[in-house]
Amino acid sequence: MRGRMNWLLAGLALVSFLTVLYASAALARDEVYEVVWPRGKAAVKIIPLAKRVDTLAGKTVCELWDGLFRGDEIFPMLETWLAEKYPGIKFVSYKEFGATHGADERANLAAFGEKFKKFGCDAAISGVGC
């Protein structure tokens, strides 16, 4: 048993040595390999973000919700807290926009731009499920 183990260890050492030797020889020949970046090329053009509003006071904030996690409880709490902090803030309910997730998602998302203009949205809060 001990003899077999010695031969196995000697074989592993030889394989390791030959691997290092081959790699060293390849480097000595200045071989160049093409490498592919795993992230790939950019698929979309990067555009600048919209300018942030300086304050929410007097602004109209539109609420977006995917319908999954307690938005019906969380949005009223946010409205109360934000109204205390920012005088004159107005809210447009997530009910005006439809769910951002689900069967009607594509149509609802496509209508956002038009609805944002209609309601005069200055900012949006998008609530997601978890």
**Domain, as residue range, for 67:** 60-127
CA gap 107, 100 in Å, rounded? 9
Over residues 4-58, the pLDDT tens digits come to 666 666 656 656 655 655 666 666 666 677 777 777 777 888 899 888 999 999 9
Q: Of 56, 121, 130, 58, which is closest to residue 94 (Cα–Cα)?
A: 121
In a domain, 98, yes or no: yes
Please indicate, yes or no, whether the overall pTM of this predicted structure exceeds 0.75: no
In a domain, 24, yes or no: no
What average pLDDT score do residues 102-106 get? Answer: 85
CA pseudo-torsion sign 96, 102, 104, 109: positive
CA angle 76, 78, 83 (to 5 degrees): 95
In a domain, 20, yes or no: no
In a domain, 47, yes or no: no
Domain count for the chain: 1
